[in-house]
Amino acid sequence: MYPKLTKVLPQENHQIYVEYDDGSSGIINFSPDTKPRYKLFEDPTYFAKAHQEHNAIVRDEQMDVCGDRCYMQIAK
């Protein structure tokens, strides 16, 4: 079982800072260049709406990202 996501802070350049309840933290890159599904993030106003809800990074009904997946990225 993965740690729980506790903090989500949108940053510049399509990046989000994340923290977990085990003390780990890191930056996740959501640049539209990395995955086509991140094309929605080209709008900085839309991207800035990112927040933590349950164990996910959420923007709105169109997009959410599982906290476990982000944890796997920062734990590499």
Instruction: Please list, in sequence order, all residues whose beta carbon lies within 8 angstroms of the beta carbon of residue 29, skipping any fewer than 6 positions away.
Output: 14, 15
Q: Which residue has the higher pLDDT, 63 or 1?
A: 1
Taking a C-beta distance cutoff of 8 angstroms, is the pair 11, 26 a contact? Answer: no
Taking a C-beta distance cutoff of 8 angstroms, is the pair 29, 50 a contact? Answer: no
The SS3 call for residue 55 is coil
Per-residue pLDDT reduced to its tens digit, 7-31? 999 999 889 999 999 999 999 988 7
Per-residue pLDDT reduced to its tens digit, 24-75? 999 998 876 766 767 777 778 888 888 898 899 887 776 788 999 999 999 8
Domains of the chain: 5-74 (3.30.2020.10)
